[in-house]
């Protein structure tokens, strides 16, 4: 898969963990995030990644900030983006199956009960089910 990833200063280590995992798994990853804890604004990082995604050529995207909340709110302001903040294997999978999420967000300061890399893998592996869910996704897309 071709994946875009970005982060702010609150998720440098988390982004690096995810990035290394994705590369080891054979994915092509465009890293638009920061590599140190110098303060940057999460909306700027969300725009960077979503604009890149919307150029085409990417399968999915991953965003990280301190909580995962702010960057997901920012991403969802962009037309064509459906970013889900995930917390466990269920939410990582179901956001693809039912919502056709094309981005997930995670928090660098969150203590997750399952490994973040497992959530990323669940997100990447889950197909969109279509059917009755397509009508709902169409309504989401019409809102932007």
Virtual torsion, Cα 108, 59, 29, 11, nearest 10 deg: -10
Which among 64, 65, 83, 95 is annotated as catalytic? 65
Contact 92, 119 (CB under 8 A): yes
Is 64 in the active site?
no
Reduce the DSSP state of residue 83 to 3 states and report it. Answer: strand
Question: How far apart (Å, rounded) are the C-alpha atoms in residues 57 and 4?
Answer: 10
Which among 21, 27, 83, 98 is annotated as catalytic? 98
Is 27 in the active site?
no
**Catalytic positions, written as ranges:** 65, 98
């Amino acid at each position: 898969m071709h994946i875009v990833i970005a982060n702010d200063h609150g998720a440098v280590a988390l982004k690096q963990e995810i990035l290394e995992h994705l590369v080891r798994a054979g994915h092509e990853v465009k890293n638009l995030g920061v590599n140190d804890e110098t303060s940057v604004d999460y909306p700027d990082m969300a725009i960077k990644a979503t604009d890149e995604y919307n150029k085409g050529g990417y399968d999915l995207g991953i965003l990280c900030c301190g909580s995962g909340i702010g960057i997901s709110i920012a991403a969802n302001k962009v037309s064509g983006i459906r970013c889900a903040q995930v917390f466990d294997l269920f939410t990582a999978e179901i956001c693809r199956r039912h919502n056709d999420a094309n981005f997930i967000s995670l928090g660098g300061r969150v203590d997750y009960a399952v490994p973040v890399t497992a959530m990323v893998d669940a997100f990447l592996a889950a197909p969109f089910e279509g059917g009755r869910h397509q009508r709902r996704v169409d309504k989401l897309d019409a809102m932007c």
